Amino acid sequence: MNSIQDIWNGIMAILSGKLTTTSINTWFADCVPIDLHDGTLVIHTSTPFKRDILHSRFEEEIKDALREMFSCDFDLLILAGDELEDYRREQEDKKKAELSLPEMDGYTFENFIVGKSNEYAYAAAQGVVKNPGSKVYNPLFIYGNSGLGKTHLLCAIGTAIHEANPDAKIAFVKGDDFTNQMVRSIKEGTADEFRQKYRGVDLFLVDDIQFIAGKEATQEEFFHTFNSIYEAGHQIVITSDRPPIDMLRLDDRLRTRFEGGMMADVQPPDVETRMAIIRNKAGHLGMQLSDDIVAYIAQKITANVRQIEGVINRLTAVREITGDEITRDKVDVAIGVVIRDGVYVPTPETIIAETARYFQVTADDVKGVSRQKNIVTARHITSYLIRNLTNLSLPGIGAFLNRDHATVLASIRKIENQIKTDKKLADTIRDITSNINSRQ
């Protein structure tokens, strides 16, 4: 792509063939090109007076020059004097809005506790920020189990690059959203726009890529997206719950690409790191825990930072309600609520929401009466997952889904039987479970 200065030079070359040197010197000498986007050329001049003249006498010439260069029509926005500052601020806010994903908040390098388990991934992430697009770190592929800080690091990279370079075009997408967006764009006849959306970015952040494995059309599209970003020398960062070699249904050519840059794993944190994380999280929530309690939590929860956070959130709530000191007993109770068999217990609402999202239907559809095939499947799977991931009884599950316990039981049995022979269903359930586990 031409830089904005190149484009402006092109316009001036065309205009100097049509206007006198005096005109050019008088009206264009202090014009500075600012931006060309969404079909609008933005330029800046020193005074409102000059702006008026440019509009009245030269606007058509400038637009003609653009048409000559790009064979399409553009609008012209001329800023005068200190309007430039406001303009830049507005653009900045717009970019932030584009970037401001729910998860980006607080997911910064400063809030990331570094220990042996993640120092390599942390250093690689910082390497990307210092030198985006460098061959050494491109792509950066961060992998590891759920709840160990992959999304946090991915967002920290996005935030840091945005701060260093507010003009950088940054895209963040989850692997399954990439699939869904692609499918929808094909249905709606907007496949070209979908392609452009990601191919032109400076920084491409892809969270949980494992979901595209085995989905042929998505992998194909992702391959082309990857190549065009990579070949432009732009940076790609990918996270996954496993290394490429263990993504069994991944296209070989994608595997080769993923392994072609830097791979960094995140491991469960050691006890010192866990204690530091606990202190840090409690501190953020305005709660001071005794050394004994910090050590106790660190000893009890070993495999997953998200679970540590869940327990601390719970303790904050307990303290707010009872106002009491946090004791070991209270920690045990909080752990009992948040974790079952070493696994985080999601809420039924989360399970319904994630299953609905996977099938691209709404939570109300799942709870409603429609007999549409994908809604019915989503409903069966929801019953099955709530049964397997929470402590709820059949009538309890029924209450969430507006069903009686016999209907819930029938749904669960159906899935239990089908899953034995239907590999695709088993994968779907594994993917949804993994989505549920990667939410708070």
Q: In the complex, which residues of this chain contact ligand ADP (CB under 6 A)?
A: 107, 111-113, 118, 146-152, 277, 305-306, 309, 438
* Contact criterion met (CB below 8 Å) for 429 and 381: yes
- Where on the chain is the footprint of Mg ion (CB under 5 A)? 150-151, 438
For ligand ADP, the closer of residues 148 and 366 by Cβ is 148
For ligand ADP, the closer of residues 152 and 403 by Cβ is 152
* Contact criterion met (CB below 8 Å) for 66 and 9: no
For ligand ADP, the closer of residues 155 and 397 by Cβ is 155
The partner in contact with residue 401, picked from Mg ion, ligand ADP, none with C-beta cut-offs of 5 to 8 angstroms by kind, is none
Amino acid (1-letter code) at residue 31? C
Q: Which residues contact 313 (CB under 8 A, 6 or more apart)?
A: 285
Minimum distance between the CB of residue 44 and ligand ADP, rounded to whole angstroms?
41
For Mg ion, the closer of residues 393 and 440 by Cβ is 440
- Of 246, 266, 303, 307, the C-alpha closest to 144 is 266
For Mg ion, the closer of residues 45 and 438 by Cβ is 438
Minimum distance between the CB of residue 142 and Mg ion, rounded to whole angstroms?
10
**Main-chain dihedrals φ then ψ at residue 36, nearest 5 degrees:** -140, 105
The partner in contact with residue 350, picked from Mg ion, ligand ADP, none with C-beta cut-offs of 5 to 8 angstroms by kind, is none
Minimum distance between the CB of residue 352 and Mg ion, rounded to whole angstroms?
20
* Contact criterion met (CB below 8 Å) for 404 and 369: no
Minimum distance between the CB of residue 286 and ligand ADP, rounded to whole angstroms?
17
Write out the H or E segment, with its range, that includes residue 277: helix 271-284
Give the Cα separation of 114 and 123 in Å (integer). Answer: 9
Write out the H or E segment, with its range, that includes residue 70: helix 59-70
Minimum distance between the CB of residue 2 and ligand ADP, rounded to whole angstroms?
38
The partner in contact with residue 147, picked from ligand ADP, Mg ion, none with C-beta cut-offs of 5 to 8 angstroms by kind, is ligand ADP
Report the residue closest to Mg ion, judged by CB: 151
The angle that helices 191-199 and 175-187 make with each other, rounded to 10 degrees, is 150
The burial class, CB within 10 Å (0-12 / 13-18 / 19+), for 151 is buried
For Mg ion, the closer of residues 145 and 418 by Cβ is 145
The partner in contact with residue 250, picked from Mg ion, ligand ADP, none with C-beta cut-offs of 5 to 8 angstroms by kind, is none
Minimum distance between the CB of residue 148 and Mg ion, rounded to whole angstroms?
9
The partner in contact with residue 148, picked from Mg ion, ligand ADP, none with C-beta cut-offs of 5 to 8 angstroms by kind, is ligand ADP
The partner in contact with residue 79, picked from Mg ion, ligand ADP, none with C-beta cut-offs of 5 to 8 angstroms by kind, is none
For ligand ADP, the closer of residues 147 and 261 by Cβ is 147
* Contact criterion met (CB below 8 Å) for 284 and 264: no
Minimum distance between the CB of residue 145 and Mg ion, rounded to whole angstroms?
10
For ligand ADP, the closer of residues 25 and 111 by Cβ is 111
Helix-strand-coil percent breakdown of the chain, rounded to 5?
A: 60, 10, 30
Q: Which residues contact 195 (CB under 8 A, 6 or more apart)?
A: 221, 224, 225
Minimum distance between the CB of residue 117 and ligand ADP, rounded to whole angstroms?
8
Report the residue closest to ligand ADP, judged by CB: 149
Amino acid (1-letter code) at residue 10? G
Question: Could you identify the residue written with the tokens 């790609």?
Answer: 236
- Of 189, 172, 186, 235, the C-alpha closest to 215 is 186
The partner in contact with residue 433, picked from ligand ADP, Mg ion, none with C-beta cut-offs of 5 to 8 angstroms by kind, is none
- Of 30, 31, 42, the C-alpha closest to 4 is 42
The partner in contact with residue 251, picked from Mg ion, ligand ADP, none with C-beta cut-offs of 5 to 8 angstroms by kind, is none
